Amino acid sequence: MHITYLLATSSNAIYDGKYSQGGRYHTYGQQSFVLDLLGTMGRAGYTVRLVVDAPSRFALTSTLRGMDSVTVTEEIDPSSKTDLILVDEVPDEMLMRFDEHIPAFRIVHHAGRRSSDYLVGRCERFLCMTENALSLQRKYLPPDRAVLVHQGVDLERFPAVLGKSRPARPRVLLYCRLDAGREAVLGQVIENIDREELLVYVAGDGPGFWETSDRFGSEIILINHVQCQSIPNLLGEMDVVISLGRGAMEAMATGIPTLCAGHRYAGLITADNIGSLLRYNLTGLGGDRDPSLVMTDIREALDSDRHGVRALAEARLSADAFVESVSALYAQVAG
């Protein structure tokens, strides 16, 4: 299958004029999703033409250009071979350049954000990555247009690290964007971590970065930003991760016991609670665990079986399942 993937940077609603660093835009979750999806599609035998409005400002351009199955360009070429168009955050005009007979699927990153009337009429499917997004999108989309396709991570990009021995000071990594209220929950979690018993890393940027630095900078290792390409290396050195969304997925793919904290605190992610947590993208929403119990949860995590964590990621968090679902949906609409 030949796929054209449309992505914008400067006009991207997720960027919204924010997250510029060194002349490039970065939105960790969205870019991590794109990197994992395109890599998985390549191994599945698809070829992908990634059309991005400003390749020099896109943090993954050089990485994706190193993939044999991916072409990165800013040139919209409607005459190029295209079986399916995947529409990320883009202005309508990018899609309007293509013939209407080519199926288009809209990728829903923001659960409640409405698409334009043009996209609603043009896109055959809206790929909702959580049950929450599916419920919200169905309120205004035509019947059967919104479908649930859980996102996942590239299990080859995040190889399992299963043979680690516990150091004298176990290493705990907290990482997420420090904005939208998440920094408040993260602050409560850090307050309740024994920072002498554990070596604590915090990786994240946003308005809460300097507040975190002022409060805990002398007791933790604080990192402003880690590129998507480097995250597997950082995760491989950790004993426990506290994160949300794709950060939690990537840690579990690596085999690392993971605590869910973001908009709320939900504690250790297990086979028993992952289903309910995925409804809100592992952000902690719906969780009501007290952050003061984090040390109890960390000690339980340190005793967890890494093989079991990896197996849970393989069963519930694989990008291969996303690609298979997209292929099946394409077969439906293509007849």
Q: Which residues contact 161 (CB under 8 A, 6 or more apart)?
A: 235, 236, 254, 255, 256, 306
- pLDDT of 19 strictly over 80: no
pLDDT of residue 46: 96
Higher pLDDT, 9 or 96: 96
pLDDT of residue 274: 97
Higher pLDDT, 28 or 55: 55
Rounded CA separation 259/266 (Å): 7
pLDDT of residue 216: 94
Distances from the Cα of 161 to the Cα of 82, 255, 307, angstroms: 38, 6, 9
Using CB atoms within 10 Å of the CB of residue 78, give its burial: 0 to 12 exposed, 13 to 18 middle, 19+ buried: exposed
The alpha carbon of residue 290 and the mean position of all alpha carbons in its chain are separated, in whole angstroms, by: 25
The pLDDT-based confidence of 287 (bands split at 50, 70, 90) is confident
pLDDT of residue 61: 94
The torsion region of residue 22 among left (phi > 0), alpha (psi -120 to 50) and beta comes to left
Rounded CA separation 124/115 (Å): 13
What is the CB-side half-sphere exposure of residue 213 using CA atoms within 13 A?
A: 11
pTM for the structure as a whole = 0.94
Taking each helix axis from N to C end, the angle separating 245-253 and 306-316, rounded to the nearest 10 degrees, works out to: 120
**Token pair listed for 95:** 């899609």
pLDDT of residue 163: 81
How many residues can be counted in the chain?
335
Averaged pLDDT of the chain: 93
Q: What's the whole-number mean pLDDT along residues 35-49?
A: 96
What is the CB-side half-sphere exposure of residue 134 using CA atoms within 13 A?
A: 14
| DSSP run (H or E) holding 309 | helix 306-316
- pLDDT of 25 strictly over 90: no
- pLDDT of 313 strictly over 90: yes
Q: For each of the domains in the chain, give its residue range(s) and CATH number, in order of start.
A: 2-152+318-334 (3.40.50.2000), 171-316 (3.40.50.2000)
- pLDDT of 203 strictly over 80: yes
Kindly state the percentage of the chain with pLDDT values over 90. 79
- pLDDT of 80 strictly over 90: no
- Say if CB 36 and CB 319 are below 8 A apart: yes
Higher pLDDT, 17 or 222: 222
pLDDT in tens, 206-253: 888 899 999 999 999 999 888 889 999 999 999 999 999 999 999 999
3-state secondary structure of 248: helix
Report the first-to-last Cα separation within the chain, whole angstroms.
15
Using CB atoms within 10 Å of the CB of residue 226, give its burial: 0 to 12 exposed, 13 to 18 middle, 19+ buried: middle
- pLDDT of 77 strictly over 90: no
pLDDT in tens, 140-172: 999 999 999 999 999 999 999 988 778 999 999
pLDDT of residue 78: 86
Q: Which residues contact 61 (CB under 8 A, 6 or more apart)?
A: 52, 55, 72
The pLDDT-based confidence of 183 (bands split at 50, 70, 90) is confident
**Token pair listed for 272:** 């028993």
The pLDDT-based confidence of 18 (bands split at 50, 70, 90) is confident
Cα–Cα nearest to 182, from 53, 28, 66: 28
Rounded CA separation 157/195 (Å): 31
pLDDT of residue 103: 97
Q: What's the whole-number mean pLDDT along residues 314-323?
A: 97
pLDDT of residue 35: 96
**Token pair listed for 238:** 């950790």
- Say if CB 257 and CB 302 are below 8 A apart: yes
Q: Which residues contact 46 (CB under 8 A, 6 or more apart)?
A: 1, 2, 3, 69, 323
**Token pair listed for 135:** 């419920």
- pLDDT of 189 strictly over 90: yes
The pLDDT-based confidence of 334 (bands split at 50, 70, 90) is confident
What DSSP state is assigned to residue 318? B
